[in-house]
């Protein structure tokens, strides 16, 4: 769940709890308040309507706050603030302030005896309007102060916490649990505020004692007791005995300290202790187990992915190790044939190219990524060495078009050469007409590679008959590992020709 989703659901949960608490209060203790408001209207000679003059004035403020929060955080914030249009964002906030002022003024107007067409005196009406708008402005300013404070927290505090959580698994676990308890903490505080707004000490106890205590009990159970139980180091009865004793022992000092410092005459420490203890057992304990089992399941999946990644890396290293002896064998075999045919005339050139290729093998091939230019140069050296072997035959045509312009990408080493090697292995015959065409072009975000060759049956005494190199199937696997969703490989084959087309995608240009 990302931060924006968390904001939406916490705000929705908060307004739901607030509305539910308000409805419960109006249905219970609020009945006396209804009588007082009705009497105030009647004494002013005005008609009283329950929905217009009492129900809506108690329900609308929560909806106004909810709507204002969504407007600022889901409309103005992403559209203006995140795009660095600060002037437009300030203008948007002023517009929200004006709208909230009018809405709260209207809500005050509904709940006041001034709601009547009988108020026709200009002076009295003007005074009432000033009162309505003053109260509306005060409530709107309170909303703006809260939303401004939250924006500052969102911009400076939350990113710092999230960046730390990314660096530490313990911090990630803490943030996950804190978010879970936030869904209990905020609605519980709101419910206490709306249901027991006359009992300030009780609200303080719930907000700053009972809920933090619940978090500590959760941490004890999650990080120590449950793991010991899952490791069979605690039997079930020992686990429950320890949990009941320790959680109760943590509740007692919190209640006693609060009663000695802030508690009033109406604060009954015994009753509060029992209620708090039962609340922790009934609500916090199941939540802790749910989070633990979910975390264990997630950890298992991560371990499976880590194991699969290790296997993939091992396979990739194995594929790299398979490449080296195969290509060195081809190069040495070519130089051997050249030395037999021409003695020493072309040996120097061949040895130089072989040296470049061996240097590539020893240094560049062990890296995860190399400049595409180096891969192209290695491919040129390989093709030139193969031309030395086939230059005596006029039936063989080898065409290359390897454009280096614009090829600033980084690729895995030895990614393209297997296709060229496959073309020379199956596409060259010293007695039949043969051809090989290799082309490579680049754009800022793509690399196009084509190999087109004739097909001939392998000779009976082919020195590479039992050596398949890395094979095209292994090349497919390597592409899947290194470029998942970022490559297109097409292979077409007939009895006389073979064609491969490879496109590598680089969304960010590298």
Residue 203's CB is within 10 A of a number of other CB atoms, namely: 17
pLDDT tier, 468 (very low <50, low <70, confident <90, very high otherwise)? very low
Asked if 470 and 323 count as a contact pair (C-beta separation under 8 A), the reply is yes
pLDDT tier, 30 (very low <50, low <70, confident <90, very high otherwise)? low
pLDDT at 469 over 50: no
Residue 510's CB is within 10 A of a number of other CB atoms, namely: 12
Q: How many residues does the chain have?
A: 510
Asked if 498 and 426 count as a contact pair (C-beta separation under 8 A), the reply is yes
Task: Give dist(CA 56, CA 62) in Å, integer.
Answer: 10
- In the predicted model, what is the mean pLDDT of residues 43-57? 79
> So what's the pLDDT on residue 262?
63
pLDDT digits (tens, 9 = 90+) for 342-356: 666 666 667 677 777
pLDDT digits (tens, 9 = 90+) for 156-183: 776 765 565 455 555 566 666 666 666 5
Residue, of 451 and 463, whose pLDDT is higher:
451
DSSP 427-494: H--SSS-EEEEEEEEEETTEEEEEEEEE--PPPTT-TTTT--TTHHHHHHHHHHHHSTTSEEEEEEE-
Start-to-end CA distance of the chain, whole Å, equals 31
pLDDT tier, 332 (very low <50, low <70, confident <90, very high otherwise)? low
- In the predicted model, what is the mean pLDDT of residues 302-320? 68
Q: Out of 49-58, 79-88, 279-288, 464-473, which region has the weakest mean confidence (pLDDT)?
A: 464-473
pLDDT at 115 over 50: no
pLDDT at 307 over 80: no
List the structure tokens of 496. Answer: 């006389």
Give the chain's mean pLDDT: 77
Residue, of 90 and 6, whose pLDDT is higher:
90
- In the predicted model, what is the mean pLDDT of residues 12-16? 79
Residue, of 337 and 411, whose pLDDT is higher:
411
Which helix or strand (DSSP H or E) is residue 253 part of? helix 236-261
Domains of the chain and any CATH numbers:
1-169 (no CATH), 346-505 (3.30.565.10)
pLDDT at 269 over 90: no
pLDDT tier, 71 (very low <50, low <70, confident <90, very high otherwise)? very high
Sign for the CA dihedral angle at 104, 105, 107, 113 comes to positive
> So what's the pLDDT on residue 168?
54
pLDDT digits (tens, 9 = 90+) for 250-260: 888 888 877 77
pLDDT at 487 over 60: yes
Q: Highest-confidence range of 235-239, 267-271, 387-391, by mean pLDDT?
A: 235-239
């Amino acid at each position: 769940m990302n931060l924006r989703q968390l904001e939406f659901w916490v705000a929705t949960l908060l307004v739901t709890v607030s509305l539910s608490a308000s409805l419960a209060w109006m249905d219970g203790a609020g009945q006396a308040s209804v009588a007082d408001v009705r009497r105030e209207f009647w004494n002013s000679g005005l008609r009283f309507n329950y929905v217009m003059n009492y129900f809506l004035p108690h329900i609308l403020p929560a909806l106004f706050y909810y709507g204002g929060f969504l407007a600022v955080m889901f409309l103005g914030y992403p559209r203006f603030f995140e795009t660095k249009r600060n002037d437009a964002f300030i203008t948007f906030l002023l517009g929200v302030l004006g709208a909230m002022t009018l809405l709260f003024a209207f809500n005050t107007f509904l709940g006041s005896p001034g709601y009547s067409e009988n108020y026709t005196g200009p002076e009295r009406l003007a005074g009432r309007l000033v009162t309505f708008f003053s109260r509306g402005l005060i409530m709107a300013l309170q909303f703006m102060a809260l939303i401004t404070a939250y924006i500052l927290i969102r911009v400076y505090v939350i990113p710092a916490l999230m960046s730390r959580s990314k660096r530490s698994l313990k911090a990630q676990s803490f943030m996950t649990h804190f978010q879970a308890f936030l869904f209990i903490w905020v609605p519980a505080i709101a419910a206490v505020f709306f249901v027991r707004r006359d009992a300030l000490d009780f609200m303080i106890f719930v907000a700053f004692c009972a809920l933090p205590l619940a978090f500590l009990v959760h941490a004890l159970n999650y990080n120590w007791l449950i793991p010991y139980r899952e490791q069979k180091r605690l039997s079930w009865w020992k686990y429950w005995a320890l949990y009941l004793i320790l959680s109760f022992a943590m509740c007692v000092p919190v209640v006693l300290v609060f009663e000695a410092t802030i508690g009033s005459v109406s604060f009954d420490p015994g009753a509060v202790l029992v209620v708090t203890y039962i609340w922790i057992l009934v609500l916090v304990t199941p939540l802790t187990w749910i989070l633990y089992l979910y975390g264990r399941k997630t950890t298992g999946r991560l371990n499976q992915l880590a194991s699969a990644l290790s296997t993939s890396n091992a396979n990739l290293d194995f594929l790299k190790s398979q490449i080296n002896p195969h290509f060195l064998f081809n190069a040495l075999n070519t130089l051997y044939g050249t030395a037999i045919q021409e003695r020493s005339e072309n040996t120097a050139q061949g040895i130089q190219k072989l040296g470049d290729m061996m240097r590539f093998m020893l240094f560049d091939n062990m890296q995860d990524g190399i400049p595409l230019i180096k891969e192209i140069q290695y491919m040129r050296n390989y093709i030139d060495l193969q031309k030395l072997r086939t230059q005596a035959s006029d039936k063989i045509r080898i065409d290359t078009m390897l454009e280096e312009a614009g090829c600033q990408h980084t690729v895995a080493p030895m990614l393209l050469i297997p296709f060229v090697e496959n073309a020379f292995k199956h596409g060259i015959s010293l007695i039949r007409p043969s051809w090989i065409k290799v082309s490579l072009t680049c754009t800022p975000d793509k690399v196009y590679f084509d190999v087109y060759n004739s097909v001939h049956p392998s000779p009976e005494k082919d020195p590479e008959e039992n050596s398949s190199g890395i094979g095209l199937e292994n090349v497919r696997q390597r592409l899947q590992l290194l470029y998942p969703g970022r490559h297109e490989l097409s292979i077409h084959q007939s009895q006389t020709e073979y064609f491969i087309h490879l496109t590598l995608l680089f969304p960010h240009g590298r």
